[in-house]
Amino acid sequence: MVQAGKIESFGILVKRYQAKMLRYARRFLFNYHDIEDLVQEVFIKAYTNIQSFDASKKFSAWLYRIAHNEFINAIKKKGKEPMPFFDLDILLPRLASKDEADKKTNQREICQMIEQCLDKLDFKYREPLILYYFEELTYREIADVLRIPVPTVGVRLKRAKKSIKSFCQKLGYRYEK
Amino acid sequence: MKSEEKSPSLIKRVLEQVRNGRVKMRPKSYFILRTILVVLIVCLVALFVLYLVSFIVFNLRTSGVWFLPKFGFGAMGVFFRSLPWLLIVIALVLIIVLEVFVKRFPFAYRRPILYSVLGIILLAFLGSFLIAKTPFHPELFWRAREGRLPMMGGFYGGLGLPKLADVHQGIVIGITDEGFSIETPRGELLTVVATSTDIQENDRVVVLGKRDDNRVEAFDVRKVDDEFDIFQRRPHRPMPWSR
């Protein structure tokens, strides 16, 4: 309906996804005061490019892709975090991690731990962690959002959890898995 | 929650921008045209990579550098020195450009970069060797020599037929006391000083040695037998468009 030009339908979409987008932005971007403006820009870009959305696919994954680009541009503009020119993780083939199967059993505890230490993580590891544990995207959807190979998603999650574990231990939290 | 407190204003602000026309929806045709453009660029760059790599193979065969690995380990220094590095670097840059465009498609970015890069290189090599089997480059080369190839003539006359200091390919046109004489694809006559005894007239040879004017002191000479024959035009195998 939005693609047919119904503005009210787009309003429903904004209402449905704004909390998710704000939450994603707050977890991904630290010390940013213009988070609302960035999320507003995400929705404006979504409206501008809505005709490129394939209705047979998941809207949320498409919206996360726009948000990812917007947030990365914000990081680049502000220069608060170093951006690697090239990432070796996406170059070589790797074995996919088995973590996806463990998701359900440990999710609640892991989410609590992650929430405490998220700001200590490099954004390269922070983002897949947020998308997987908090936004509940699959490896393939995360690969589509970040435009990285599917096995790399598993590798980054594994490394992210390892870093989180060590940060949590330093802060005195208990980390089971 | 903070997000919920602010959320009504966010919707309002977004919809206001849409309603007052400050934000416009791009038409579907824009995205279709953009996709067509990307596919066209990918096809054009891929075709140019094929052309360039097959031209490099042609260049190596006309210069004789292609046959240097047969001379053994000692000739490898000359081999690497004589490679058309400018063309190789241009081909590599184009492969990187092609990879950048291919990476926009899910089949490429969902897999490690190594796979798509290797895939592109493999296709470029296979396609180029297939082109090298056709009279495509020799035909253009002969057209350039006959002055019937506008614009590209200099390309085939210069880069297509490099003049190297250490490697010389030619047809033996006569046996002399100190060796033999050859005619190169450039039409030059070279006197080769060599001790090889099994060289005969009309043999196709590659000579390794320093050139001084039209005289070459050979330190190795090999007969080469290759179906690729740049020395003679083949009128019985014209290009499809000239039939």
Query: Which CATH number does the domain housing residue A31 bear?
Result: 1.10.1740.10
Out of A160-174, B45-59, B90-104, least confident range = A160-174
* Closest CA–CA distance from residue B50 to any residue of chain A (Å): 24
Same domain, B115 and B215: no
Nearest to B17 among A22, A26, A44 (CB): A44
Residue B37 reports pLDDT greater than 90: yes
Nearest to A147 among B19, B23, B109 (CB): B109
Task: Name the more confident of A101 and A24.
Answer: A24
B105-151 pLDDT, tens digit each:
988 998 888 899 999 999 999 998 898 888 888 888 888 877 777 77
Taking CA–CA distances from A23, the nearest residue in chain B reads B3
Average pLDDT estimate for A67-86 = 80
- Which residues on chain A are in Cβ contact (under 8 Å) with B38? none
Average pLDDT estimate for A99-108 = 58
Same domain, B152 and B196: no
Bridge partners, B210 (sequence order): B217
Query: pLDDT tier at B3 (50, 70, 90 boundaries)?
Result: very low
| Whether A15 and B17 lie within 8 Å, measured CB to CB | no
B20 touches chain A (CB under 8 A): no
Answer whether 0.95 is exceeded by the pTM.
no
Q: What is the reported pLDDT for B23?
A: 87
Domain membership flag for residue B8 = no
Same domain, B87 and B67: yes
Taking CA–CA distances from A13, the nearest residue in chain B reads B11
Amino acid (1-letter code) at residue A126: R
Q: What is the reported pLDDT for B91?
A: 94
B140-192 pLDDT, tens digit each:
888 887 777 777 777 776 766 677 878 888 889 988 888 899 988 878 889 99
Task: Name the more confident of B6 and B172.
Answer: B172
Q: How many domains does chain B have?
A: 2
3-state secondary structure of B106: helix
Nearest partner of A64 among A132, A4, A157, judged by Cα: A132
* Closest CA–CA distance from residue A170 to any residue of chain B (Å): 30
Same domain, A69 and A119: no
Pairing of strands B215-223, B189-193: parallel
Same domain, B168 and B148: no
| Whether B24 and A23 lie within 8 Å, measured CB to CB | no
* Closest CA–CA distance from residue B17 to any residue of chain A (Å): 8
Same domain, B119 and B211: no
Q: How many domains does chain A have?
A: 2
3-state secondary structure of B195: coil
Nearest to B18 among A7, A92, A147 (CB): A7
Domain membership flag for residue A138 = yes
Query: pLDDT tier at B8 (50, 70, 90 boundaries)?
Result: low
Bridge partners, B172 (sequence order): B182
The two structure tokens encoding residue B108: 């490429």
| Whether A90 and B113 lie within 8 Å, measured CB to CB | yes
Nearest to B26 among A51, A91, A151 (CB): A51
* Closest CA–CA distance from residue B91 to any residue of chain A (Å): 20
| Whether A44 and B14 lie within 8 Å, measured CB to CB | yes
Same domain, B179 and B67: no
Average pLDDT estimate for A25-39 = 83
Same domain, B142 and B206: no
Query: pLDDT tier at A28 (50, 70, 90 boundaries)?
Result: confident
Domain containing B136: what range? 29-156
Query: pLDDT tier at A168 (50, 70, 90 boundaries)?
Result: confident
Q: Check if the beta carbon of residue A91 is closer than 8 Å to that of residue B114.
A: yes
Same domain, B121 and B216: no
Task: Give chain A's end-to-end CA distance (angstroms, integer).
Answer: 45
Where a domain ends, among B100, B128, B156? B156
Q: What is the reported pLDDT for B242?
A: 47
| Whether A14 and B15 lie within 8 Å, measured CB to CB | yes
Q: What is the reported pLDDT for B237?
A: 46
Instruction: Supply the mean pLDDT for chain B.
Output: 84
B163 touches chain A (CB under 8 A): no
| Whether A52 and B26 lie within 8 Å, measured CB to CB | yes
Task: Name the more confident of B129 and A143.
Answer: A143
Domain membership flag for residue B11 = no
Domain membership flag for residue B108 = yes
Domain membership flag for residue A176 = no
Same domain, B44 and B133: yes
Domain membership flag for residue B179 = yes
Same domain, B74 and B150: yes
Where a domain ends, among A78, A104, A120? A78
Residue A135 reports pLDDT greater than 60: yes
Q: What is the CATH number of the domain that holds B183?
A: 2.40.50.140
Task: Name the more confident of B88 and B9.
Answer: B88
Q: Check if the beta carbon of residue B103 is closer than 8 Å to that of residue A147.
A: yes
- Determine the Cα–Cα distance for residues A150 and A141; give it in Å rounded to an integer: 9
Domain membership flag for residue B107 = yes
- Which residues on chain B are in Cβ contact (under 8 Å) with A140? 110
Same domain, B172 and B147: no
Same domain, A60 and A14: yes
Same domain, A99 and A166: yes
**In chain B, how many H helices and how many E strands?**
8, 5
Domain membership flag for residue A26 = yes
* pLDDT > 90: percent of chain B: 28
